Amino acid sequence: MKSRLSIWYLALLMLVLIKPVLAADVDESLNSVVSQATPTDRLFSVDFNKDTGVAVGEAGLIMRTDDAGQTWKKEKSPTTLGLISVAHSGGREIAVGQMGVVIYRDGSSEWKISDSGSDMRLLKVDLNSHGLAVATGAFGTLLRSLDGGESWQLVTPDWATLYDSGAGDTAVIRDEPTNYVVKVLEDNRIIVGGEYGQLNVSEDGGETWSVLYRHPEVDGDTAATFFDLKLSGKTGYAVGQAGLVIRTDDAGKTWTSVAANTKGSFFAVTYTGASKVFVVGQRVAMKSINGGESWEQFEPLDLSLNWYSGLGQTAPNNGRIVAVGHSARILSLSPF
């Protein structure tokens, strides 16, 4: 099974091989490029704690803003491995990436490396204020920390049982799903998901697991993969391949499918209130002002020409959304 390349690895490989195309027409009044490096640089994830934001990317690249995304500066990184995801709770920040790398810090202190005990690619991290942190990764890798990311332990759910479709002997054994999304809630509930269009939940901090949502397979085709999930309060959205969008209105307990009318792959989602939703991905960006009931393309700058994989907002929100992606670009957007 480990010889099977993950969808995320293939997606990243495609992004590396695709030469960025720079749009000629730029609406500087509403949407602008705030920071940019070279075509070979990449940022994968961005996270805001009020006016302070951190973006992470290839070769250990870390960018930071202290003015709600108006200006960014490069920070010293303790690693040259690619960083794929970053998250925070309070003053604690954690970033994860290639070869099981984990770095963490408090406030504006220097980043430190934590021994994750794994050499698998870590694709997403999240944590809560109690110090519970979870990182998901390739081929069923699932790590948990009880001290805010300073030490880690491997969690081994019975993936084959969780992903049993009930199709009997003809079913493919899915015992090593690559999970791209994780959400750790304040009540220690954990949601993880990714391949096969499935979300799983633990109600007890990672000790036991059950199926939360399974996207239907059509005509025998494997369900699309989830790449991002955002949940705050009662409202949340998860997005992925082939225009996959689902929504919750009860704090992630139940989810329903939302039609986005596109086959484009969404890598990141964010929303303002419960109804204004914005997604970006591989040569696609879309917005909805009614909770996903209808969508329209959003095409300023090069959003329809290149890839962006991370979205963030300041808090309290000033109406602007930050997107990161190819060429280590950081965009300031006003889609609504």
DSSP 184-225: E-TTS-EEEEEGGGEEEEESSTTSS-EEEEEPPPSTTPPPPP
Token readout for 75 is 């920070």
15 sits in which H/E element:
helix 7-17
Token readout for 172 is 């493919």
What region, left, alpha or beta, does residue 206 occupy, with left being phi > 0 and alpha being psi -120 to 50 degrees? left
Q: Residue 151: is it exposed, middle or buried by C-beta count within 10 angstroms (0-12/13-18/19+)? A: middle
Going by C-alpha positions, the residue among 45, 38, 47, 117 that lies closest to residue 82 is: 45
Q: How far apart, in whole angstroms, are the C-alpha atoms of residue 288 and residue 295? A: 5
Single-letter residue type at 59: A
- Measured from the Cβ of residue 325, the count of other Cβ atoms closer than 10 Å reads 29
Distance of CA 308 to the CA centre of its chain: 11
Cβ pair 273, 284 in contact under 8 A: no
Task: Please state, in angstroms and as integers, the Cα–Cα distance from residue 237 to each residue in 49, 63, 123, 207, 250, following that order.
Answer: 20, 26, 18, 25, 11
Residue by residue, pLDDT tens for the chain (336 residues) are 444 444 444 455 444 444 444 444 445 568 999 999 999 999 999 999 999 999 999 999 999 999 999 999 999 999 999 999 999 999 999 999 999 999 999 988 999 999 999 999 999 999 999 999 999 999 999 999 999 999 999 999 999 999 987 765 445 678 899 999 999 999 999 999 999 999 999 999 999 999 999 999 888 789 999 999 999 889 999 999 999 999 999 999 999 999 998 999 999 999 988 799 999 999 999 999 999 999 999 999 999 999 999 999 987 667 789 999 999 999 999 999
Starting at the edge strand that comes first in sequence, how are the strands of the sheet with 330-333 ordered?
Answer: 32-35, 330-333, 321-325, 308-313
Q: What pLDDT was estimated at residue 34?
A: 96
Helix and strand counts by DSSP (H, E) for the chain: 2, 28
Q: How far apart, in whole angstroms, are the C-alpha atoms of residue 29 and residue 43? A: 24
Helix (H, G, I), strand (E, B) or coil at 237: strand
Going by C-alpha positions, the residue among 230, 316, 213, 234 that lies closest to residue 266 is: 230
Q: Using only C-alpha atoms, what is the Rg of the chain?
A: 18
Q: How far apart, in whole angstroms, are the C-alpha atoms of residue 213 and residue 219? A: 19
Cβ pair 187, 206 in contact under 8 A: no
